Structure 1
Amino acid sequence: MERNIVIAGASSTIAKSIIQKLAHQDVNMYCLSRTDDILNKNKIHFAQTDVLKDELPTAFLPEEIHGTVYMPGTINLKPFKRFRSSDFESDWAVNVGGATRFFQWVLPKMVNNSAALMFSSVAVQTGMPFHASVAMAKGAVEGLTRALAAEYAPRIRFNALALSLTNTQMAERFINSDDKLERSKARHPLNQIGDPEDIAELAAFLLSERSRFITGQVIPVDGGLSNLKI
């Protein structure tokens, strides 16, 4: 049976890997992004939309939705004393406000045994300097994941992936030299940073019926950083 998956923030590096992974399955993808930098345009439905600001195009959605992914996020790192109120408000708007708006939009069309996926950060459960704003916002994402998982069980599964530093365009400034990259790798027990393809593999699993006994989980994908000290 063909499945319909809706992806917000579809032009991000990880989203592109998820799209490539799902393109090999029996899946119709409905992708939203502020830009039209989307892979495999001939294989997806696309709407150039800002999920935070634009009127969401309800006619764009299929009649039945089997999976949803909310990708938009931020990496806003600096000392706490340098954050302004606008920084916290902006991070909250992207990570939490956009997610709530997106899910209120898609949930009426999500069918039984469907799945929803959000993204958190290793910095929520593992205190890290300079991560105050993103940790606060992603902490709310984790709370939203569990609350919706409880509210919509057993009909819809909600899970989240808590990522460490991953090789994406958003993280490029943290790994744009050999020295930065090697120091970032060394902070992880597996001595590497995240790879979008590995994250896409797990995302595709959680969106599929193979994960039918998993809900309300925040799964670390962090090279062991949150649980291991070696």
Structure 2
Amino acid sequence: MKTILIVGGSKGIGNAILKNLADSHHIINISRSKPDFKHDNLTHHSLDVLSEDLPEIELLDTIIYCPGSINLKPIKRLKVEDFKEDFNINVIGAVKVIQQYLDVLRKGDKPSILLFSTVAAKLGMPFHASVAASKSAVEGLTKSLGAELAPSIRVNAIAPTVTDTELASKLLRNEKQIENMVDRHPLKKFLQPEEVADMAAFLISDKAASLSGQVFEMDCGIVSFKI
């Protein structure tokens, strides 16, 4: 049983990962709100990683950093503060967590780090300037840290397309929007958080021992295909 730190496990994809892994691993969750899920293997810390001190952790095998943002505005309506906020959530928070626990993680059992990007870092889409910029930084961080921490710690990222979570609710708020979103993807679907959780579980497992510095597009074909 590994010890896995999930940052942002109370909602969305992070919550799906927490539920996926709780039966087989000891989970430490850090998020501002408490998960709607109880398990003997779950320890929760309520705090904001950007503004509060992180808890002491003595044993750690994996870090999964899930916080994200979908701040969609035309460039003229985006303020510098919007870019800073998205960068803080997506990049600075991850860096703070990794720096805090790196020494402990180095001593872990086949340790790994998993971060989250977005398909918007690869596919240019209107109104995504702020989130695409910050998530592109996450992809650069993934590759750079993968090289720096090899061979002891693997570092990978998942770049999902639209996923049916509270964060994406504005994009899926009615039947017409859902129909349009399905139609935009060549596989005629978008993601469920459980699908992303399955990929996360694989990437932190020993089955993915040869994978590091990779960004995995879970795109339902929207980046990969033109049909």
Q: State the TM-score, normalizing by the size of structure 1.
A: 0.95
1:49-69 Cα offsets, whole Å, 9 max, x none, are: 1111101112xx1x2211110
Summarize deviations over 1:172-212 as a string: whole Å, max 9, x none: 11101000111011110111111111100010011111110
Match runs of 1:1-230 below 5 Å: 2-25=1-24, 27-58=25-56, 61=57, 63-110=58-105, 111=108, 113-230=110-227
Deviations 1:17-61 (A, max 9, x none): 111111232x10010010113422443011101111101112xx1
Shift of 1:112: 5.3
Whichever residue aligns with residue 190 of structure 2, its letter is: I
Query: Residues of 1 paired with 2:71 and 2:63: CA distance?
Result: 25
8 Å contact 1:112–1:155 — kept in the other structure? no
State how many pairs are aligned: 225
Cα distance in 1 for partners of 2:93, 2:115 equals 11
| Identical amino acids, percent of aligned pairs | 40
Residue 65 of structure 1 aligns to a residue whose secondary structure is coil
Greater than 3 Å deviation, 4+ residue runs: none
> Which runs of no fewer than 5 residues in structure 1 stay unpaired?
none
Which stretches in structure 2 are left out of the alignment for 5+ residues? none
Give the Cα–Cα distance (whole angstroms) in 2 for the partners of residues 115 and 149 of structure 1: 10
Rounded Cα–Cα distance in structure 2 between residues aligned with 1:84 and 1:158:
32
CA pair 105-11 structure 1, distance change in 2 beyond 3 A: same
Distance in structure 2 (CA, Å) of the matches to 1:203 and 1:212: 13
> Do the aligned partners of 2:22 and 2:39 also contact (CA within 8 Å) in 1?
no
1:90-127 CA distance string (max 9 Å, x none)? 10110011011011012111125211100001011111
Are the equivalent residues in 2 in contact too, given 1:5–1:65 (CA < 8 A)? Answer: yes
SS in 2 for 1:171: helix
SS in 1 for 2:61: strand
- Residue 135 of structure 1: CA displacement? 0.5
